[in-house]
Chain A
Amino acid sequence: SQTIHQWPATLVQPVGSPLSLECTVEGTSNPNLYWYRQAAGRGLQLLFYSVGIGQISSEVPQNLSASRPQDRQFILSSKKLLLSDSGFYLCAWSVRHETQYFGPGTRLLVL
């Protein structure tokens, strides 16, 4: 069966510091991968998605970036965090355009 991992689970970072969040999927090949952000008490906003290694599509212009160095690895990065980057970051996977399944998420607090 398929499993999706995210780390770290929680992170507290100062404003202006860099960020790297990692997502990996097991048990499937060539998945679509997605990064969402959920602000406190709000809905989910799609940030990036990838249909293959090195292929990244951005949905929202911001100071975040994403990379997919391996088939089942998706990384979310920032060079300088802003206060507004705080939130719950969720990675998701799917087989092509089928159902999306979410990872456990990373809670990021920028101080």
Chain B
Amino acid sequence: GENVEQHPSTLSVQEGDSAVIKCTYSDSASNYFPWYKQELGKRPQLIIDIRSNVGEKKDQRIAVTLNKTAKHFSLHITETQPEDSAVYFCAASPVSGSARQLTFGSGTQLTVLP
């Protein structure tokens, strides 16, 4: 099955700086890579996702890059703000029938210092 590793486990940045979180996956059949943000005590919420036919996707201050050859993908947050502080999870999944079995990374606790 799929295995996803996520680094770093904790990340502190100054407000206004950039943050980068990296994930690697093992299953070359994986073709969908979402990123979720989870605030303390809340549900995970999708912030951006990318499919394997695209190398990069951007949405305002958030971008994701995918390197299929190396089997890794990264989340980039620019101009960080205190409200970006949360736990971020990456995930990977191949298509299996009509459902996706997402395999999640272990999470990155991002703290944006004012």
Contacts and interface: CB of A to CB of B under 8 A. Distances in A.
Contact of B95 (A57, A97, A101, A105): A97
Contacts of B100: 32, 94, 97, 100
B46 A57 contact: no
B26 interface: no
Contacts of A23: none
A44 B44 contact: yes
Contact of A51 (B36, B98, B107): B98
Contacts of A104: 42-43
A36 B21 CA distance: 23
A46 interface: yes
A54 B67 CA distance: 39
B63 interface: no
Interface in A38-90: 42-46, 49, 51, 57, 59, 90
A97 B44 contact: no
Interface in B30-78: 32, 34, 36, 42-46, 49
A44 B43 contact: no
B97 interface: yes
A103 B107 contact: no
Nearest to A49: B99
Interface of B: 32, 34, 36, 42-46, 49, 89, 91, 93, 95-107
- 8 smallest CB-CB distances across A and B, nearest first, come from A102-B43, A43-B104, A97-B100, A44-B104, A43-B106, A32-B99, A96-B98, A102-B44
